Amino acid sequence: MPKQIIYKQEAQTKLKKGVDAVANAVGATMGPLGRNVGLEKTWGAPTVTHDGVTVAKEIELKDKFENIGAKLVLEAATKTNDVAGDGTTTAILIAQALVESGLKNVAAGANPMFVRRGLEKAVKEVTAKIKEMAKDIKVDERTQVATNSAQDPQIGKIIADAMQKVGPDGVITIEEGRSLEMELETKEGMNFDNGYLSAYFVTDPDKMVAEIEDAHILITDKKISTLQDLVPMLENLVKLTQNLVIIAEDIEGQALATLVVNKLRGSLKVLAVKAPGFGDRRKSMLEDIAAVTGGQLISDDVGRKLDSVTIEDLGRADKVISTKDDTTIVGGKGNKELIKARENQIRKEMDESTSDYDKEKLQERLAKLIGGVAIISVGAATEAEMKEKKYRVEDAVNATQAAVAEGIVPGGGVAFLKARRVLNSLKLDKEEQVGVEILHEALEKPFRKLAENAGLEPGMYIKEIEDNLSKNIGLNVMTGVLENMLEAGIIDPAKVTRSAVENAVSVAISIITTDALIADEPQPEKPEPGAGGGMPGGMGGMM
């Protein structure tokens, strides 16, 4: 297919237009007084959302060069969402400010490669300062973090309750409810590292998640690669269940292809998952999964072959949810007494172990085994309202878990204003210093957008905030009052704050240092059927 190529300033202008298209749409959602964005769907009702990355993913621009800019800035949001689960709007807005200022300086003669070096050095200083500023989160502050993320006190409370029930490292899943209210329940279950073995098993392409309900679970430490390994077992099982999850050391070659084909044809709801751990630890973790689900571990060590598997050997669960990175078993049907015996065995091994590393791994296994799974069911009057609320709950859960992981910092954009002060003492060569200065300026953008979305003029407040940053003073956009952000409960997870600036800088560097763009030539639009031709064939065929 023929390609079109554009260079230098023309290319940079197109990239900036794409970035602006995404950032202007996403920026409208920022903060407690941010607005929603409506999304057209090919099928079903439109969706209304307050979630930045969801908005960004929907944007597809007609101009192919502008679309490259849009997709690049989406990467900042996606990476932030993958690492921290929230902060996607912030990452996009900082990236937009960096791109705007960076391209202006490049157009004025700055060398983009030196600007890049300056940005890379500056972001290291800023992220180190954010980590230094972070303080451990207290139990009562979890509610506040979740409330701030979701902009809803009820959501904040239910997430804090869920975390209290399953522990700060416990598994919390969100599903669509059947009533008007939000509900919380806990079930037997566990989460482990490693996800699906092929993206073809995905059942929700938007979130790249594979989900099997009312699952029968085959658990084995074997590697399955040939049809001879797989077919006899499937013939035994497909007569009795259509919902099959296979957790194995690995599944590859013909065996994996056969499962994928059956899934795509709809003849079998199947999910193949790579077993967690390595060596002896893998076998122990598979035995834990067997205990939670009430299944049997199929292993040569106990004299079991795959072709001998029956329905009684399979574990059971209400649901299995798998991403590319991890898998969650919800509502395992294991015997409570056997799970308790397994727990006691792990505790005994911990007491007898003399290795700190082994004790740490045993503690991880114990937490996964007994932690259970908290399920938040999100209800609403309409499907559109429920989806919008579910997005907010997901972000709030991620934000709270991020706060537990790396602590909290002052919210309202204050953490960025505090962290950027470290750049005042960073002196580099002239052109590298440009990178430092544009990051210093860009870190003001989150505060400014929060104020603008509240109908306030940021310039009226910025100097007083800058003069009182040591006291964590910021703007409460709900009241228009300057106050201590930590004392007011306006707090952000340090992990979200750090990830947002890291990923914004990474994407901005890619755009600032781009000098040419290549895209397919646009295809001529096909005429509408019947247009311009009158009635085909006239009326000669009528009798």
Q: Give the residue ranges of the annotated binding site for ATP.
A: 29-32, 86-90, 412, 492
DSSP letter assigned to residue 309:
-
Q: What is the distance, to the nearest Å, from the Cα of residue 365 to the centroid of all Cα atoms in its chain? A: 24
Please tell me the distance from the alpha carbon of residue 256 to that of residue 271, in angstroms, as a whole number.
Answer: 10
> E strand or H helix at 39, and its extent?
strand 37-39
Q: Which of 512, 425, 501 is nearest to 124 (CA)?
A: 501
Please tell me the distance from the alpha carbon of residue 44 to that of residue 386, in angstroms, as a whole number.
Answer: 14
DSSP letter assigned to residue 46:
-
Q: What is the distance, to the nearest Å, from the Cα of residue 193 to the centroid of all Cα atoms in its chain? A: 16
Helices (H), 320-355: 336-352
Binding residues, as ranges, are 29-32, 86-90, 412, 492
Let me know: does 247 contact 282? Beta carbons within 8 Å.
Answer: no
One DSSP character per residue, 469-517 reads GGGTEEEETTTTEEEETTTTT-EEEHHHHHHHHHHHHHHHHHHHT--EE
Give the E-state strand segments of 153-253 in sequence order: 171-176, 183-187, 189-193, 210-220, 223-224, 243-248, 250-251
One DSSP character per residue, 377-401 reads EE--SSHHHHHHHHHHHHHHHHHHH
* Phi, psi (deg, nearest 5) at residue 130: -60, -45
Let me know: does 411 contact 148? Beta carbons within 8 Å.
Answer: yes
One DSSP character per residue, 217-228 reads EEEESSEE-SHH
What is the SS3 assignment for 20?
A: helix
Helices (H), 85-219: 88-107, 112-133, 139-150, 153-166
The pairing of beta strand 171-176 with beta strand 373-378? parallel
Residue found under tokens 């960076």: 102
Please tell me the distance from the alpha carbon of residue 22 to that of residue 78, in angstroms, as a whole number.
Answer: 13
> E strand or H helix at 358, and its extent?
helix 356-371
Please tell me the distance from the alpha carbon of residue 65 to that of residue 84, in angstroms, as a whole number.
Answer: 30
First to last CA, the chain: 48
**Amino acid identity, residue 472?**
N
> What are the tokens at 303?
């004299």
